[in-house]
Amino acid sequence: MIELTLAEIAHAVQGRLVPGGSGAGPETVVRGESQTDSRELQPGQIFFARRGEETDGHRFAGKAVEAGAALIVAEREVDDRVPQIIVAETTEALGALATEVVRRVRERGGLTVVGITGSNGKTTTKNLVATMAARLGPVVASAKSFNNEVGGPLTMLRVDERTRTLVAEMGASAEGEIARLTRMAPPHIGVVLSVGLAHAGEFGGIEATFRAKSEMVRELPETAVAVLNRDDPRVAKMAELTRARVRWFGLHRDAEVRATEVEPSADGTRFTIHAAGESLPVHFRVLGEHHVMNALAAAAIGVELGLPLADIVAELEGATLAAPGRMEVLGGRDGVTIINDAYNASPDSMSAALRTLAQIRRPEGRSVAVLGAMSELGEYSIEEHIRVGLQAVRLRISELVVVGREARQLHISAINEGSWDGESVFFETQDEAHDYLLRTLRPHDTVLVKSSNAAGLQRLGDRLGEAYA
């Protein structure tokens, strides 16, 4: 974070400064990142005592002071050993400070803000863009999947005078949240990857999801660029909603950054990229043909940042993992491949992962899909789990292992398709599934482990990877 006095911070968050017993005053300078988790806090950082759904950060103010907090922002006075700023609502104050920091750095010049949203692919695209932008200078990018009202501003507060590019994921579980993040850090380049059923239950349907995902492009000024997926009809409609210049990516012939000759395999996907009047071959080692769209989105951003296509391709070819728990290839013993893709799941990403499993299965082995529940689908949940079960059968997946009561409908759907006899099995717990798989997996099998993060199958994927390391 840039240097700010306590008085400047108090003004930015509309709070009341309580100097405390440390001898600090209004002109005391604070420079450091911010945290809402006292366990993550480093000396000199700011602790925001935020009230969450499960706990109250005010209870941990003392631990934050002991960890070296330079300042506490809270809704009531909690610990007078360090300065405190008392605000009406801590999460809003966090966003207000992030807004002020980004505004000051932008005014000094040299900072480009890239905002990335979409139902799927945000983290993969963000990681690719961050490596590309690093060729131009220091980059701040969202850690993990920090893309909401808390993670977004925590990322933004890491920006300082040296930062050349801020790459911010902008996610949401309700309408209005992406608009708020966009106003905190107005993008020079705004990217929409897809509009799908991820979080549709929280949004209230696909049309509400469309409205939420379009908030970014609606906010972009004429001087900005909207990077849009030409292949997604809902994203393509957003060109009508923005004042910004539009740059298309996709497989569509109208896309300015596009891919042809796409050939998926077990070691990634090969394709030819066309951009900026050039064409180059790419071996993209991130597993799954669906990740080509994320690569194209990142390439389109790279072009806007002014990078030569050869440099963009070099970064794409250097990537081997979308992110931990996302199409992560593990195992290897006895020719068994474990694909751990259980960090998150939506109907679109589940479908794409199953297609990848079917494409890369070794002829001498089986394809085994270990699937858990997809979360946050609301009224669409039963229908979409049924659809995934049907797809597994129609793709001729050799065996389906369904884990967790919330995913049981997927198992029933596969059985009811009528073409299987015992190839779909159901287990209540991960331990049961783990033991079953260790007994039944055969040499050269390819195993996909896929679920929403809430289902917790990422640990099962890791255990299987360790067992077959």
Q: Is 46 helix (H, G, I), strand (E, B) or coil?
A: strand
The span from the CA of 269 to the CA of 260, in Å, is 11
C-alpha triplet 384, 346, 369: angle, nearest 5°: 80
Relative orientation angle of helices 309-318 and 122-133, to the nearest 10 degrees: 120
Burial annotation 269-292 (CB, 10 A radius, 16+ → b, else e) = bbbebbbbeeebebebbbbbbbbb
Amino acid at 107: E
Residue 206 is encoded by which pair of tokens? 């696909």
Environment class of residue 428 by beta-carbon count within 10 Å: exposed (0-12), middle (13-18) or buried (19+)? exposed
**Binding annotation for ATP:** 118-124
> Nearest Cα to 36, choosing from 127, 157, 162, 206?
157
Relative orientation angle of helices 347-360 and 381-394, to the nearest 10 degrees: 10
Sequence-ordered list of residues with C-beta below 8 angstroms from that of 378, at least 6 positions apart, any chain: 200, 201, 202, 204
Local structure of residue 123 (DSSP, 8 states): H
The span from the CA of 263 to the CA of 428, in Å, is 38
Half-sphere exposure of residue 293: CA atoms within 13 angstroms, side-chain side = 23
> Nearest Cα to 461, choosing from 469, 449, 447, 453?
449
Half-sphere exposure of residue 412: CA atoms within 13 angstroms, side-chain side = 11
